[in-house]
């Protein structure tokens, strides 16, 4: 018998042994094709998402600091600010700027004006007073008349989101109209009854 004849049966036996060992292997030891990174990605996509952390991520925050914040926690003002006059209410909201109108000087000092839409309400003293999300924003700018509020004009961009706490005057009694129709007025966004958060910085 030649060497080739002896080799063929030997190779067949070795192959049969390998097939047997593979068949007896514990299924738990078998690894599916794919990298660890693929497995981690699958787990991430399948698991719950924290949208707040998404908004706070550096990549998304780089373009607009205002969008980097999650919805603010309730921060009620002193109780004396809850309803300074009948028919109004203290409120804490996040608004989207629809139109920036600049500064206006009047008998009550200098105010920075903007038309906006309420996108989130963190806290309100009397929600029955609130009659629209269309809001005319009047933020006090520090002056000789009233040193509280914004330190100077802080121009706002259309689409920008800011947080404000102040006094809400409903559209029914504010008697103010903008391009979106009858609007409520939010003012007194300074100490002791309010504040404004613009670009991640708090002004009061």
Q: Is residue 20 part of a domain?
A: no
pLDDT digits (tens, 9 = 90+) for 59-75: 333 344 454 458 999 99
Task: Look at the block and give the residue holding tokens 């109780």.
Answer: 79
Residue 25 has pLDDT above 90, yes or no: no
Any domain includes 3: no
SS3 (DSSP) at 182: strand
Report which of 187, 185, 191 is spatially closest to residue 111, judged by C-alpha positions: 187
Mean pLDDT of all residues belonging to the chain = 78
Identify the domain containing residue 108 by its residue range.
71-203
| Rounded-to-integer distance, Cα 33 and Cα 28, Å | 14
Torsion of CA 174, 175, 181, 183, to 10 degrees: -10
pTM higher than 0.85 for the full model?
no
Number of domains making up the chain: 1
Q: Are 197 and 120 in contact (CB under 8 A)?
A: no
Whether residue 172 is contained in a domain is answered as: yes
Asked if residue 61 belongs to a domain, the reply is no
| 199 domain residue, yes or no | yes
- Domain annotation covers residue 1: no
């Amino acid at each position: 018998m030649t060497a080739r004849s002896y080799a063929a049966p030997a190779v067949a036996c070795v192959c049969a042994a390998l097939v047997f060992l593979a068949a007896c292997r514990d299924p738990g030891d078998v690894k599916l094709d794919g990298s660890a990174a693929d497995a981690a990605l699958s787990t991430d996509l399948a698991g719950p998402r924290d949208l707040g952390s998404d908004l706070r991520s550096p990549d998304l925050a780089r373009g607009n600091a205002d969008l980097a914040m999650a919805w603010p926690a309730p921060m009620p003002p002193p109780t004396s600010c809850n309803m300074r006059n009948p028919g109004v209410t203290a409120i804490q909201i996040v608004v989207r700027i629809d139109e920036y109108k600049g500064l206006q000087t009047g008998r009550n000092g200098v105010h920075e004006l903007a038309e906006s839409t309420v996108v989130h309400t963190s806290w309100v003293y009397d929600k029955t007073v609130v009659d629209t999300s269309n809001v005319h924003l009047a933020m006090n700018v520090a002056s000789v008349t009233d040193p509280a509020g914004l330190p100077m004009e802080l121009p706002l961009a259309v689409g920008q989101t800011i947080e404000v706490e102040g006094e809400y005057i409903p559209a029914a009694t504010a008697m103010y109209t903008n391009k979106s129709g009858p609007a409520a007025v939010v003012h007194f966004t300074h100490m002791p009854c309010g504040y404004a958060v613009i670009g991640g910085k708090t002004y009061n």
